[in-house]
Structure 1
Amino acid sequence: MTYNSLFSVLTDESLVEEALSHAMATATQHDAHLDVLCLGVDRSQSGYYYSGASAIVLQETIARAQEEGAAIEAKARAVLKNSSLRWGIESGVSQLADLGRHVAARARFSDLVILPQPYGTGRGSELEPVTESALFEGGTPVLIAPTGGKPVPNPNRIMVGWNESSEALGAVRAALPLLREADVVHVVVIDPPSHGPNRSDPGGLLSQFLSRHGVKVEIDVLSKTLPRVSDVLLRHVRDMDADLVVMGAYGHSRFREAIFGGATRYMLEQATVPVFMAH
C-alpha cells in the first residue's frame, strides 16, 4: 500500500504556497500524482439572499468568488509549473453551504488529502467544512499542514494517539505506509482503563499488529496531568520531538465537538507538526 493519488483543496490565496509545499513534498516522496482543486468561495448568506436583494448584489458576490478562484489557480500554477511532479489543477466557484459536495466528490477518489490548518488567526470559515467533507463524506485520510511548519514527507518519529476507538484504528491503518518507514512509532495511551481485557497491556494488541507490518513500536502510557487530553498529547509531541501525529478524528458527534471543543479541534488549533487523521 502506498499513496499514489494525492488531493489538495485551495480556497485562500495566502495559503497556496503553505499547503502546496507539503503536498508537493509528499507527492515527491511517494512518486504520486497530485490533483489540486482551486475554489473561489461565495461567503454570502448560504443558499439564499435576503428579500429585496438585487441581481446586481448576487452577481457581485459570484464575480468576487470567480476572481478569488482565478487568483488562487494562477498562484498554484506558478508554484507547480517548474516541478517534475505529475499534477493537475481544476478550478471553480462554490457557495459556502455547497462546498462539501465538491470536495467530497473528488476526495473519495484519492488516497490522501493534504490541507492547510483549518483553525487559527486569519483562517477562513470555509477551511473547517473542507476538512470535514474530506474526512466524512469523502472517507479519505487527511494530512493537516501546520501553520509555518516545514514539510516532513518522510517522518522518522511518529506519535500515535491511541484510545482503542475505531477512528484511531482507522487512522493507523491509513497511515501504515508512513509508519513502516519511520525509525520509531510511539503509541501513546493516556489513562488506560482500569477494567477490561486490555487493562494489563494497554496498546499491546496494536503494537503486535504494527510489529507484524514491520513497524518499530514503543508504547508510552501517560497520566492525564493536564486539563485536556490534547494538552497531554501536544506536550508529548514536544518531549519526543515527533515529526508527525496520527490520530482518529472526531470520536463523537461533530455537533458536540463544535460546542464543547474536543481533542480533534484542539490538536488542529495548536499542532506545530503535521497531523494525520482518519475517521
Structure 2
Amino acid sequence: MAYKSIFTVATNAALVPMSVASAARIAEANDAHLDILALGVDRTQVGYSYVGSGAALMQVALERAEADARELEKAAKAAIAAENLDLRAGTEAAVAQMGAVADLIATRARFADLVVLPRPYGKDQGPEAEAVVEAAMFEGQAPVLVLPGKELASPSPKCVVIAWNQSREAMAAVRKALPFLKSADLVDITVVDPPNHGPERSDPGGMLCQMLVRHGVRAEVSVLAKTLPRVSDVLARHVRDRNADMLVMGAYGHSRFREAILGGATRNMLEQAEVPVLMAH
C-alpha cells in the first residue's frame, strides 16, 4: 500500500502555506497526486428577515464566500509554486453552506488515500475547520493527518508512536498508517493501563507488534501506567519523551445527536499535540 492520492482543504488563508506545503511534500515523497479544495463557506443562518430582504442577504453571503474561495485558491497555487517540487497537483474552488460542508468533503475524501489538514482548534479557526476534519474521517472514511500548527518537518517520520488500546478504531488507524510506519526507524506501540482481562492481557501490544514486524516495521512495545488524569496527557508526555515525529491513533465519535462528534480523548489529543497526528475511524 502507498499513498497515491493526497487531499487537503483550504478554509483559512493564514494556514494555507503550512498545510499545502506539508501535503505537497508527502505527495512528492510518495510520487502521489495532490488535490486541493479551496472552500469558501457561506456561514449565514437566516432565522428571519423582513419581506424582500432575505434574498439580498443570501446573495451578499454567497458573493463573500465566492471571493473567499478565489482568494484561497490563489494562496494554494502560490504555496505549491513556492515548494518548487516536481509535483502533480490540481486545485479547485468551491462554495458551500455550513450544512452542506460535510457532504462535499466526504465525497472528495472518500477517494483519497490520505487527507492532510491543519488542527481544527484555535482562535483563528472557524466551525467549518472541525466540520471538515470530522467529515473526512467519519463520512469519508479516510485517514486524516492533522498538523499541529507548523509545517511537516519531514514527509517520512523517523519515530512514530501508536496509541494502542485494541479497539477497531486504533486498528483502522494502524492499517492506514502503514506507509509511514514502514519507512520509520522506530515504531513505539504504546499501551496505557492495559486491561486485566482480554486477548492481550499476558502480552499487551504483542500481537500488533508481530503483525507490524512481518511488514518489515521496526516495532517495539511500551506499557505505561496512567499516572496523569487523562490518557491523552500520558500519551503527549510519552511522545515528547521519545522525541517522536508522529502519533497514530483511532478517532472516536460521540452520538450524532451532538453537534460536535469528536470524542473527548480525540479532541484532547489534537488540542495539545506537538507533532502531526494520524487518525482514522
TM-score (norm 1): 0.95
Per-residue CA deviations over 1:72-124 (Å, capped at 9, x if unaligned) read: 00111122235421000111111011101111111111100011111122111
Q: Which moved more, 1:251-260 or 1:118-127?
A: 251-260
1:125 Cα deviation after fit: 0.9
Q: 1:110 to 1:262 in 2, by over 3 A?
A: same
The alignment partner of 2:89 has SS state of strand
Q: Match of 2:143?
A: 141
> What RMSD in Å do the two structures reach over aligned CA positions?
1.8
1:19-58 equivalences in 2 (<5 Å): 19-45=19-45, 49-52=47-50, 53-58=53-58
Q: Name the count of aligned residue pairs.
A: 277
Distance 2:117 2:231 in 1: 24
Any conservation in 1 of the 2:21–2:80 contact (CA below 8 Å)?
no
Any conservation in 1 of the 2:205–2:221 contact (CA below 8 Å)?
yes
Any conservation in 1 of the 2:134–2:262 contact (CA below 8 Å)?
no
Distance 1:56 1:256 in 2: 32
TM-score (norm 2): 0.94
The alignment partner of 1:7 has SS state of strand
Q: Match of 1:242?
A: 244
Distance 2:278 2:255 in 1: 19
Q: Match of 1:112?
A: 114
Q: 1:221 to 1:254 in 2, by over 3 A?
A: farther
Q: Which moved more, 1:154-163 or 1:72-81?
A: 72-81
Letter in 2 for 1:65: A
Q: Match of 1:3?
A: 3
Letter in 1 for 2:11: T
Any conservation in 2 of the 1:167–1:251 contact (CA below 8 Å)?
no
Per-residue CA deviations over 1:180-230 (Å, capped at 9, x if unaligned) read: 111110000000011223111000110111111111111000011111110
- Structure 1, unmatched stretches of 5+, are none
Structure 1 segments (4+ residues) deviating >3 Å: 251-261
* 1:14 counterpart = 2:14: yes
Q: Match of 2:219?
A: 217
Any conservation in 2 of the 1:156–1:182 contact (CA below 8 Å)?
yes
Q: Match of 1:79?
A: 79
1:152 Cα deviation after fit: 2.5
Distance 1:211 1:69 in 2: 45
Distance 2:240 2:259 in 1: 25
Any conservation in 2 of the 1:112–1:141 contact (CA below 8 Å)?
yes
Distance 1:122 1:254 in 2: 26
Any conservation in 1 of the 2:189–2:209 contact (CA below 8 Å)?
yes
Q: 1:196 to 1:261 in 2, by over 3 A?
A: closer
Any conservation in 1 of the 2:254–2:262 contact (CA below 8 Å)?
no
Distance 2:273 2:262 in 1: 19
Letter in 2 for 1:127: A
Letter in 1 for 2:194: P
Any conservation in 1 of the 2:134–2:261 contact (CA below 8 Å)?
no
1:151 Cα deviation after fit: 3.3
Q: Match of 1:231?
A: 233
1:13 Cα deviation after fit: 0.9
The alignment partner of 2:127 has SS state of coil
| Percentage of pairs with the same residue | 55
Any conservation in 2 of the 1:161–1:246 contact (CA below 8 Å)?
yes
Q: Match of 2:208?
A: 206
Letter in 1 for 2:48: Y
Distance 2:184 2:199 in 1: 29
Q: 1:64 to 1:24 in 2, by over 3 A?
A: same
Per-residue CA deviations over 1:153-191 (Å, capped at 9, x if unaligned) read: 100100000000000000000011111111110000000
1:253 Cα deviation after fit: 4.0
Letter in 2 for 1:19: S
- Structure 2, unmatched stretches of 5+, are none
Distance 1:42 1:105 in 2: 19
1:267 Cα deviation after fit: 1.0
